[in-house]
Amino acid sequence: MSDEDPPGSFGHGIAVGVAISAVLVHIAYVALGVDWTGFYRDLGGAPLPLMTRITISASWQLGVPIVGSIAIGALVLRRPRSLAPYIAVVAVLLVAAACTYFFPSWPLTALASEIK
Q: Would you say 89 and 71 are in contact if contact means Cβ atoms under 8 Å apart?
A: yes
What per-residue confidence (pLDDT) applies to 64?
A: 96
What is the predicted pLDDT for the residue at 98?
96
- Parse the chain into domains and list their residue ranges: 10-114
Give the pLDDT score at 42: 84
pTM: 0.85
Quote the distance between the C-alpha of residue 96 and its chain's center.
Answer: 3
Give pLDDT, residue 36: 86
Q: Longest C-alpha distance within the chain, in Å? A: 65
Distance set, CA 104 to CA 15, 31, 40, 69, 75 (Å): 27, 14, 10, 23, 30
Instruction: Return the pLDDT at 7.
Output: 60
The per-residue pLDDT string of the chain (116 residues; one tens digit each, 9 = 90 and over) reads: 455 655 667 889 999 999 999 999 999 999 998 888 888 888 787 788 999 999 999 999 999 999 999 999 999 998 888 889 999 999 999 999 999 999 998 988 887 877 76
